[in-house]
């Protein structure tokens, strides 16, 4: 799949870089406009209008309203060839921004706290650049702007709507600006990059009563406590220690008064893992433990368990292509970080289940400028100097794949 074109000359690389660096001021303006107008998943109407206006202005063919607010821009090259998909997510989060910057969110309680404003700006810049260069392009690039990455997920409905067809996409790439890595680095690996995400909610049903007469009750707080403890044995004692997995109970609500034994307890949590063999297995263990603990106390339960996103798994050849391009684009001494992995999840995973591809992390933190708050933090922001690096990465990957 990786083409065997000779390595471009240094002059060519320098020219590509210069042309893309010239877009940097525009990229910052677009990113800031998107940052000021954040919208939640499937409600990215203004965002979609902004993207559509730009594509129309430049004359780039595109389709709108896919899976509600999604957009696909098409860049057919002058010569026939393979089809590469580039994916950008465009949704924000229900967070009140605490940054005091001129481009802070104008939409109360909604914030681009994960960098998807940057992803959209990078994808727009890539569309603009490739469109100018289409006489050199062999093949077609599809730029996919998808809604609702933060949940419930826009990738799956976009695929169901046929974005990977007509023409059929041969491979996909995508990036996430990443504050877990410093600016001037890029993280990528072959195989699983991000974890599968599963979720559960459980109501434990006991029998309430007087705090001084526990023998007349089935204490839901006690049952819940034992369930929480026992669930930690799934990773510690059931999963192969060479496979990474997480079981987190994030909420536990029960009881109303200090002298009343609660009749119900509500817990909820999330499960993460890389190895697809664990699909279904952890769920089974969790249910068996809840059923067993409840049975031993005479309690009952109601369990709701669902898979949100599968693991994000990179194809070996596509990861090698990205790695090779990155080694030319990222020239700082920190460079390309190998074996980068996180237990966070991503619905890019659905695209990578359909076609081979590679998702990678573009380091975006800059501690010296206080731009290193974690993703989903009310003070999240990133070093905008990476925007043109993102475009250069995409443009160079296209050049390598479609030639």
Active site includes 160? no
Looking at 33-41, 91-99, 110-118, 363-371, which segment touches Ni ion (CB under 5 A)?
110-118
Which of 37, 129, 141 minimizes the C-alpha distance to 79? Answer: 141
Catalytic residue among 149, 150, 315, 392: 149
Q: What is the x/- site pattern for Ni ion, positions 37-76, by CB under 5 A?
A: ----------------------------------------
Closest distance to Ni ion from the beta carbon of 321 (Å): 23
Q: Degrees (nearest 5) of the Cα angle 124, 126, 131?
A: 100
**Between 137 and 387, CB nearer to Ni ion:** 387
Whether the CB-CB separation of 72 and 143 falls below 8 Å is answered with yes
Sorted by sequence, the CB contacts under 8 Å of residue 383 that are 6+ apart come out as 183, 364, 365, 366, 369, 371
Whether the CB-CB separation of 360 and 326 falls below 8 Å is answered with yes
Catalytic residue among 39, 44, 89, 91: 91
**Between 114 and 220, CB nearer to Ni ion:** 114
Active site includes 149? yes
**Between 203 and 314, CB nearer to Ni ion:** 314
The CA distance from 323 to 317, in Å, is 10
Which of 343, 339, 341, 340 minimizes the C-alpha distance to 273? Answer: 343
In the bound complex, which residue of the shown chain has the CB atom lying closest to Ni ion?
114
Sorted by sequence, the CB contacts under 8 Å of residue 328 that are 6+ apart come out as 13, 396
Place of tokens 């993703």: 375
Sorted by sequence, the CB contacts under 8 Å of residue 235 that are 6+ apart come out as 245, 246, 247
**Between 82 and 112, CB nearer to Ni ion:** 112
Counting residues that bind Ni ion (by CB under 5 A) gives: 1
Closest distance to Ni ion from the beta carbon of 150 (Å): 7
Q: Indicate which single residue of 67, 114, 175, 220 sits in contact with Ni ion (rule: CB under 5 A).
A: 114
Looking at 48-56, 106-114, 211-219, 275-283, which segment touches Ni ion (CB under 5 A)?
106-114
**Between 88 and 254, CB nearer to Ni ion:** 88
Looking at 44-52, 63-71, 111-119, 292-300, which segment touches Ni ion (CB under 5 A)?
111-119
Closest distance to Ni ion from the beta carbon of 88 (Å): 11
Looking at 60-68, 109-117, 159-167, 327-335, which segment touches Ni ion (CB under 5 A)?
109-117
Sorted by sequence, the CB contacts under 8 Å of residue 225 that are 6+ apart come out as none
Query: Positive or negative CA dihedral for 378, 380, 384, 386?
Result: negative
Footprint on this chain of Ni ion (rule: CB under 5 A): 114
Q: Which residues are catalytic?
A: 91, 149
């Amino acid at each position: 799949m990786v083409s065997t074109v000779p390595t471009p000359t240094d002059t060519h690389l320098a020219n590509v870089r210069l042309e893309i660096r010239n877009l940097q001021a525009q990229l910052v303006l677009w990113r800031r406009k998107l940052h000021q107008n954040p919208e939640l998943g499937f409600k990215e109407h203004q965002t979609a209008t902004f993207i559509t206006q730009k594509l129309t202005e430049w004359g780039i063919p595109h389709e709108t309203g896919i899976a509600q607010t999604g957009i696909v821009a098409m860049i057919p090259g002058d010569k026939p060839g393979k089809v590469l998909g580039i994916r950008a997510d465009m949704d924000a989060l229900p967070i009140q921004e605490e940054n005091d910057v001129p481009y802070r969110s104008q939409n109360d309680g909604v914030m681009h706290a994960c960098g998807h404003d940057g992803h959209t700006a990078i994808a727009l810049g890539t569309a603009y650049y490739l469109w100018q260069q289409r006489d050199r392009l062999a093949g077609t690039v599809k730029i996919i702007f998808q809604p609702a990455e933060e949940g419930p997920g826009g990738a799956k409905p976009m695929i169901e709507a046929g974005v990977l067809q007509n023409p059929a996409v041969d491979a996909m790439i995508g990036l996430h600006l990443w504050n877990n890595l410093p600016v001037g680095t890029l993280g990528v690996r072959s195989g699983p990059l991000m974890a599968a995400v599963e979720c559960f909610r459980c109501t434990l049903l006991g029998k309430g009563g007087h705090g001084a007469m526990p023998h007349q009750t089935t204490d839901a707080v006690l049952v819940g406590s034992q369930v929480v403890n026992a669930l930690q044995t799934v990773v510690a004692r059931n999963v192969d220690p060479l496979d990474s997995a997480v079981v987190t109970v994030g909420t536990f609500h029960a009881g109303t008064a200090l002298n009343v034994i609660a009749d119900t307890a509500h817990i909820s949590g999330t499960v993460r893992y890389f190895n697809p063999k664990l699909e279904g297995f952890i769920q089974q263990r969790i249910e068996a433990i809840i059923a067993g603990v409840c049975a031993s106390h005479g309690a009952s339960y109601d369990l709701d368990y669902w898979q949100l996103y599968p693991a994000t798994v990179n194809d070996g050849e596509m990861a090698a292509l990205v790695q090779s391009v990155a080694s030319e684009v990222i020239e700082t001494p920190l460079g390309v970080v190998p074996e980068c992995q996180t237990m966070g999840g991503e619905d890019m995973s659905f695209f990578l289940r359909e076609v081979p591809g590679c998702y990678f992390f573009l380091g975006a933190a800059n501690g010296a400028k206080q731009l290193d708050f974690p993703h989903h933090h009310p003070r999240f922001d990133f070093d905008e100097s990476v925007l043109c690096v993102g475009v250069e990465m995409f443009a160079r990957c296209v050049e390598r794949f479609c030639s």
